[in-house]
Amino acid sequence: MEQFSPFQAETGLPFWGWIVAGVLIYAFGSWKDFPAVRALGIGAVFAGLAEWPLGPVKPLEQFAIWIGLSVLSWFGGKRIARREAAAPNVARAGLGLVGRSGTVARAFKNGHGTVSLLGEVYAAVADDDLAEGVPVRVVGVDDEAVKVERKP
C-alpha cells in the first residue's frame, strides 16, 4: 500500500484559501509587529491571486510561489521603509523649507546626512561633507531630501 504525501497531491489549497490564510498571517504579523511574518502574509495573498487565473496548482508549486512572492515582498518592504526613513517629512513640508536655516544633526558623508530645521529632522544632501552642528540654509527640495549649503 502506497503512503499518501501532500506534495504528490493533484491540487493544494484553493486560491481563496491562500488569500484568507495570507490575511490572517498578515494580521498576526501586524499585531506582534513582525515584518517577516507580514511579508509571509503578503506573499500568501499574492500566491492566491496568482493561482486564481492558473486554476488548480500542485502543493509544491504553491509553496514555491508563496515563498518567492514572500521574499519579493520582504525586499520591497525594506526598500520602501528605507526610503521613508531617509525622508519622512520632506514631501509634506515641500518648498516651505527653502530659505530656512538649521543645523547639521548628523554629519554628512559623501554628501548625505541629516539636518534639524524648525524642530524636525530631515534627510539632506550637500555638495560638501559637513560636520555635526554646522549652520546650514535650505536651497532646494526634491522627493527624498532637502538640499542644503553651509550658511555664510
Q: What is the pLDDT of residues 129-150, one digit of tens each?
A: 889 999 999 988 877 788 899 9
Q: In this predicted model, what pLDDT tens digit does every residue of 24-42 receive, in sequence order?
A: 999 998 888 888 899 999 9
Q: Which residue has the higher pLDDT, 6 or 21?
A: 21
Q: What average pLDDT does the segment 74-99 reach? A: 70
User: Class assignment of domain 90-150?
Assistant: mainly beta
Q: Where are the domains of the chain?
A: 6-86, 90-150
Q: Which residue has the higher pLDDT, 85 or 6?
A: 85
How far apart, in Å, are the Cα atoms of 45 and each of 12, 28, 75, 77?
15, 14, 16, 15
Q: At what angle do helices 35-54 and 15-31 cross, to 10 degrees?
A: 170
- Residue 89 cell numbers, joined: 517629512
Whole-model pTM above 0.85? no
